[in-house]
Chain A
């Protein structure tokens, strides 16, 4: 009973991090509760063998990435389309306040955010994971290397490659949009 109460506190302390990481890694709100629950149950089962060589947070990232990988595999098997982050009417982008910007700028930023989300989902799993862990979760190279069980040099390479791909994809998208706008205006 005491263990359950303590673990409940662990869940409470880390649930935000697990939910937001899974949301961005899977790009979908579908089954998010179940996936997060799976992460914590795996942590509970792994606790007896947890040697404490890393922070429990870093260990949780490792489990979250594994759960996300299993979800990607499941989706590939099911071969079904998933709901985009932005498809949800209560999308998180809408709730972000921009008190110092006008409506047009806000709309532009929201569209850009949506474009980044979409292009992020186009990256390879490992590139996406590293970008999310580095930029969103502000993990160090060492922590990412531990979470993904790969050398630090490989993490750096994937991070650089992922950023480059993202940048090029967004630039290409903007160019296409500008062309489309010009054509419509003519």
Chain B
């Protein structure tokens, strides 16, 4: 039971008016009197029998990330080879090649770690 008058703003007024307070208490008592509905004896079992079937849980994990990494590694390797062939000696190509090489190493390392379950 909430310990609160039905009209808290008028508490002092209610205290001076026993009839009003009594009336408030009757309302609260009526509100707090919960109905007692008749529940069928087999209600819980009936609900359980109506439960929809759960969709089967997928146990095969998806490997989208791993596949993307593999593709990325191959693409980087090809790019490295392509850049290595002309060997123009331009500084920009050297920088790009270094970046791609670093990326290739990172991907190869990530794949190795993932493969051996060290992550």
Question: Is the CB–CB distance between A15 and B35 below 8 Å?
Answer: no
In the complex, A5→B72 CA distance in Å?
49
Q: Does B48 contact A (CB under 8 A)?
A: yes
Question: Is the CB–CB distance between A167 and B27 below 8 Å?
Answer: yes
In the complex, A66→B53 CA distance in Å?
23
Q: Does B34 contact A (CB under 8 A)?
A: yes
Q: Does B51 contact A (CB under 8 A)?
A: yes
What residues on A are CB-neighbors of B116 within 8 Å? none
Residues in A lying within 8 Å of B, measured CB to CB: 3-5, 7-9, 11-12, 15-16, 19-20, 23-24, 29, 32-33, 36-37, 40-41, 44-45, 85, 90, 92-93, 95-96, 112-113, 116-117, 120, 131-132, 134-138, 160, 163-164, 166-167, 170-171
**If A23-B35, A45-B52 touch, does A8 touch B45 (CB 8 Å cutoff)?**
yes
Return B69 CB to nearest CB of chain A, in Å. Answer: 30
Question: Is the CB–CB distance between A11 and B52 below 8 Å?
Answer: no
User: Which listed residue (B23, B31, B37, B50) contacts A131, Cβ 8 A?
Assistant: B31
**If A12-B44, A164-B7, A167-B27 touch, does A41 touch B51 (CB 8 Å cutoff)?**
yes
Question: Is the CB–CB distance between A29 and B44 below 8 Å?
Answer: no
In the complex, A18→B46 CA distance in Å?
15
Q: Does B6 contact A (CB under 8 A)?
A: yes
Question: Is the CB–CB distance between A170 and B35 below 8 Å?
Answer: no
User: Do most interface residues of chain A lie in helix, strand or loop, or is the interface mixed?
Assistant: helix
Residues in B lying within 8 Å of A, measured CB to CB: 1-2, 6-7, 9, 23-24, 26-28, 30-40, 43-52, 54
Which of A4, A8, A137 counts the most chain B CB atoms within 10 A? A8
**If A135-B2, A170-B27 touch, does A92 touch B52 (CB 8 Å cutoff)?**
no
In the complex, A135→B26 CA distance in Å?
12
User: Which listed residue (A19, A24, A36, A134) contacts B2, Cβ 8 A?
Assistant: A134
**If A41-B51, A135-B2, A166-B27 touch, does A95 touch B36 (CB 8 Å cutoff)?**
yes
For this complex, 6 residue pairs linking A to B, each with C-beta atoms less than 8 Å apart, are A23-B35, A29-B37, A37-B46, A113-B30, A136-B34, A167-B7
Question: Is the CB–CB distance between B33 and A96 below 8 Å?
Answer: yes
User: Which listed residue (A19, A116, A138, A171) contacts B30, Cβ 8 A?
Assistant: A116
Question: Is the CB–CB distance between A41 and B36 below 8 Å?
Answer: no
Question: Is the CB–CB distance between A20 and B37 below 8 Å?
Answer: yes
